Amino acid sequence: MSGAVAGAVAGAEAAGRRLDEVVAELAGTSRAQAARWAADGLVEVDGRPRAKSHRLSGGERLAWAPPPAPPAGAPLAEDRPLAVRYEDERLLVVAKPAGLVVHPGPGHPTGTLVNALLGRPQTSLSGGGGAADRPGIVHRLDKDTSGQLQEAKDDRAHLAQARELAAHRVERRYLALVQGRLPAETGTVDAPIGRHPRDRKRMAVVPGGRRAVTSWRVLETFPAVQLAEASLETGRTHQVRVHLASLRHPLVGDRTYGADPALGARLGVARPFLHAWRLAFAHPTDGHRVELTEPLPPDLQVVLDRLRGT
């Protein structure tokens, strides 16, 4: 293979799975992209190119050399307001409002959090872990989720925080309003998440998905709904939304994952009731603990006040 080669050893959990599926997970790309690499002879198993449908046994040495991505224009700097909650020479934490996309992508090349970060005077950002359209971005929130997001100003800080996330040492807690009654006051969902088999815009609990772990505890109970705190051990796309929906208790307002539209309308919830309220992590310079909280935004607080009768 020519070009930049990456690789990994297939774990025992890869036994019986297709090559394109495992490489997609390891490379952080789509399965379709991994399949194209295999079709072009860019994926090897123990030194030999293999077809996308090749079944693994576990323990093989995998290598892939994706073709270089075509050059793309850098995200534009935009003068947009940002609510900065923490800042030093290496890190930023901002409170993202609902409706703001984190980084540019198809359908939203501008008007994102990244564009706003680039527009801040005298603010440097990391290389985004190699993703040119995500400078500074350490972790993400869905467009309609509000709350705290961490950004890195240099590549060493970015790598350090990415390692902390991978080791489950970054504390991320969410406030979620769920339909009905959760099965217990506290609990954990440990269920793999991947693309929905019929709707590629949605995620789902699926066999062969990436491991995902969410814990919850009930904070308040009201007629028809409960306020819960959800904590992440992993950080999969739509994780809290998918896991709570898998318990048959979707977030109020989350029609993508089965929420009752009539209940959402009655409570005045116009988006999934989900807010990243607490973020705590070890600082990459000296390891001191940074702990930050963000109150509910007005659109969600008014719903909670109404439920409390205040």
Residue-wise pLDDT for 175-188, tens only, equals 999 999 999 999 99
Residue 245 backbone zone (phi > 0: left; psi -120 to 50: alpha; other: beta): alpha
Tell me where in the chain the CATH 3.10.290.10 domain(s) lie.
Answer: 6-64
The pLDDT-based confidence of 1 (bands split at 50, 70, 90) is low
Fold of 83-166: Pseudouridine synthase (3.30.2350)
The pTM of this model reads 0.75
pLDDT value for 68: 54
Average of per-residue pLDDT values in the chain: 90
How far are the Cα atoms of 43, 57, 149, 275, 295 from residue 301, in angstroms, in the given order?
50, 51, 20, 11, 9
Residue ranges of the chain that CATH labels 3.30.2350.10: 83-166, 171-308
Mean pLDDT of all residues in 87-94: 95
pLDDT surpassing 60 at residue 2: no
For 6-64, CATH number? 3.10.290.10
- How far is the C-alpha of 32 from the C-alpha of 244, rounded, in Å? 28
Which are the catalytic amino acids? 142
**So what CATH class is 171-308?**
alpha beta
Question: For the residues 209-221, what does the mean pLDDT come to?
Answer: 96
- Mean pLDDT for 44-50 is 90
C-alpha 293 chain-centroid distance = 19
**269: pLDDT strictly greater than 80:** yes
What is the mean predicted confidence (pLDDT) over 204-216? 94
The predicted pLDDT at position 71 comes to 45
**Residue 21 and residue 31 in contact, taking contact as beta carbons nearer than 8 Å:** yes
Structure tokens at 12: 């025992």
Is residue 53 scored above 90 in pLDDT? yes
pLDDT of residue 73: 63
pLDDT band at 70 (very low <50, low <70, confident <90, very high): very low
Give the Å distances, CA to CA, from 149 to 41, 68, 280: 39, 30, 11
